[in-house]
A = this chain, B = another copy of it.
Amino acid sequence: MFESAEIGHTIDKETYKDEVPALREALLDVQYELKEKGDFPVLILIHGLDGAGRGETMNLINEWLDPRLIDNVAFAEPNGDETERPWMWRYWRALPPKGRIGMYFGSYYSDALFPRVYGKSDSAAFDKQLFDILRFERMMTLDGALVLKFWFHLTKDRQKAKLKALESDPDTAWRVTTKDWKHYDRYDKIRKHGEHMLRLTNTAHAPWIVVEGDDANYRNLTVARVLLNALKSRLEGKARVEPSSDVPPILAPIDNKLILDTLTLDQKQDKDAYKEKLKKLQARLNRLTRDPRFAKRSLVLVFEGNDAAGKGGSIRRLTQALDVRQYRVIPIAAPNDEERAQPWLWRFWRQVPAHGGITIFDRSWYGRVLVERVEGFADEADWGRAYFEINDFEHQLHGNGAVVLKFWLAISKDEQLERFKAREETGFKRFKITDEDWRNRDKWDDYRLAVSDMIDRTSTSRVPWTLVEANNKYYARLKVLQTVCDAVEAALDGGN
């Protein structure tokens, strides 16, 4: 992969001087068009060898383009806050919004490559990370992002010569660190594992661009032209990933029997016994979340269900048992403009708890495949691929130690009607019933199908859905609490 970047490319001074002014002007034009349209972000990753011009390229892009429209982010070793979340969390957080250019100096690729180079991860762990990366970039590009990945390259001899030259002048010696020499000593390993990495993650829509970094003129013109051409063709509507091409078909069962139909929604639960059991379960949940082993885990709870099925009441029975410093309840409403300028899952990534933390979502990312599907707010291509993205998200949480539980609170159509009426009759409950609830009710069957698909496609042994028969609210609350307690206990005991 690197051969053509080891042959001594150069551009002479005259050619360079002739070309630069028009190139800069053209770059600014496309940058403003990007801003104006505001419908996709650009993500530029800067990688490669020390001394091959990574920092200089970053400065160049900031100098030739309008730096006010660029978000530069440099990543060091993950710190405390970051190590307590899935490893991709910090890259999600730093994403540029639509219309802007984000430039990552070091990225998830460094997190994968250097442990491999230094023998801290093996071939399987390395490939697993590359697979995580591929899914992330797939999500980004399907969402419309332009992703460009630069690898700046040098031969081993030229790297040594560059570092030596900098070191020989006392005023530039500081540019060479011991880390640079450590990397130099591992040149062959970086080249080898880097090649493997580039090969596995070089895709049509998030390509690697290998640039020989020895000659600044050559390097600068190459980067500028690549950037210009990529932006131009994306702005002309070319080179966009076709979203519909990648969605597996959604099947409906031919006998029309769905998973929700199998539930016995009326369950018995006497109120006095409920009170006793509730107290015991709350005490148990509290003990579990104070367990020292919980400090290495976290808990993510998702509540979905029919309108008026009792999500709020169930959530309150949970939070009554929790330390208020430990949990957050996130009611999901419409995204704000900062959130709308990002991939749709971004606003949920924002809320991922650190170790020891608990986040309870009152409605969630499943809106994408429920209301957005039923109401037609999202295209089929978008909600179709959402199953894949949701599974990926939840399994990243799980892989980082989170217990992730999802509850569907189900009530019958008759029970819902009674509750709607009761809410309308009680002054302080009227806020809980809106025209939208009545409209949703009219689409009962559409939701029934969407829920069934959702469960089939996103319930896994690691991150399961729990269906809660909720016509009797006492029964439902106890089942939720019991499920949470059992799952947390199993996790602390080393299961799941």
A336 with B333: CB separation less than 8 A = no
Distance to closest chain B CB from A108 (angstroms): 15
Name the B residues within 8 Å of A165 (CB-CB): none
Residues of B within 8 A of A72 (CB): 324, 328-329
Name the contact of A67 in the complex, choosing from B106, B331, B337, B428 (C-beta under 8 A): B331
Q: Is A439 an interface residue (CB 8 A)?
A: no
Q: Which residues of B contact A287 (CB under 8 A)?
A: 174
Decide: B63 and A316 in contact? CB cutoff 8 A: yes
Chain B residues near A76: list those with CB within 8 A: 325
What B residues does A324 contact at CB under 8 A? 55, 58, 72, 74, 105
Which one of B64, B67, B430 contacts A329 once the chains associate, using CB atoms below 8 Å? Answer: B67
Given contacts A24-B427, A174-B287, contact A319 B59 (CB under 8 A): yes
Q: A459 near B: Cβ within 8 Å? A: no
Closest to A25 in B: B427
Number of A residues whose C-beta is below 8 Å from B? 60
| Closest residue on chain B to residue A174 by CB atoms | B286
Chain copies in the assembled complex = 2
The answer for the CA separation of A106 and B323 in the assembled complex, in Å, is 12
In the assembly, what is the distance between CA of A62 and CA of B66, in Å? 46
CB of A130 to closest CB in B, whole Å: 23
Question: Is A28 an interface residue, CB under 8 A from the partner?
Answer: yes
A63 to B337, CA, bound (A): 29
Roughly how many angstroms separate A18 CA and B62 CA in the complex, as a whole number? 67
Convert A134-155 into 0s and 1s, putting 1 for each residue whose CB lies closer than 8 angstroms to a CB of B: 0000000000000000000000
Give the docked Cα–Cα distance between A256 and B326 (Å): 59
Question: Would you call A21 and B426 a contact (CB within 8 A)?
Answer: yes
A187 on the B face (CB < 8 A):
no
Chain A residues with CB under 8 Å of chain B are 21-22, 24-25, 27-28, 32, 55, 58-59, 62-64, 66-68, 72-76, 79-81, 105-106, 170-175, 279-280, 282-283, 286-287, 290, 312, 316, 319-320, 323-326, 328-329, 331, 333, 336-338, 362, 426-428, 430-431
